[in-house]
Amino acid sequence: MKVILLRDVKGMGKTHDLVEAKDGHALNYLIPKKLAIPATPTAMKEAELRRRQSADRSLIDAALIVQNLATLAEMRVVIKMKANEKGHLYDAVGANDISRAVKEQARIDLPVDAIRLEKPIKELGVFDVPISAADTFGKFSITIEAE
């Protein structure tokens, strides 16, 4: 049975993809969980339109990130967290925290999914934060200080 995915499904495909699923899997799992809809001609047209809109939106986001990376490279983004006397943080700094700090301090809306941290930051210091959106790659520095 052909279905259009409404969300990313591991092992099947990404949002708005047209995929072939076994009838039982589609009827008993994907459709009831609202992960997919049957691939009717109308649904296929809507999925194609949404796919194009999503691609356009990602290109615009990438252009904004390129524009904002220069501003971020010149700025000093500081995040204050509680730490022990050895410099280890009680709570790790993740992509959400970095995005929020950039928005508050630089007035730049940096999408959380554009931040490519390998693992959360767990100590005080200056760190490079890698950024990527579409084909755009860059980095900026953040400073984590004790409260």
Per-residue model confidence (pLDDT) at position 85: 92
Per-residue model confidence (pLDDT) at position 66: 77
Per-residue model confidence (pLDDT) at position 126: 95
Per-residue model confidence (pLDDT) at position 95: 93
Q: Is the dihedral of CA 89, 107, 142, 128 positive or negative?
A: positive
Q: What is the pLDDT of residues 107-124, one digit of tens each?
A: 888 888 888 999 999 999
Structure tokens at 18: 């047209």
DSSP designation for 6: S
> pTM higher than 0.75 for the full model?
no
Domains along the chain with CATH numbers? 2-56 (3.40.5.10), 66-146 (3.10.430.100)
Low-confidence residues of the chain: pLDDT under 70: 134
Using an 8 Å Cβ cutoff, are 115 and 129 in contact? yes
**What is the C-alpha to C-alpha distance for residues 34 and 147, in angstroms, rounded to an integer?**
44
Q: Which residue has the tokens 């796919």?
A: 51
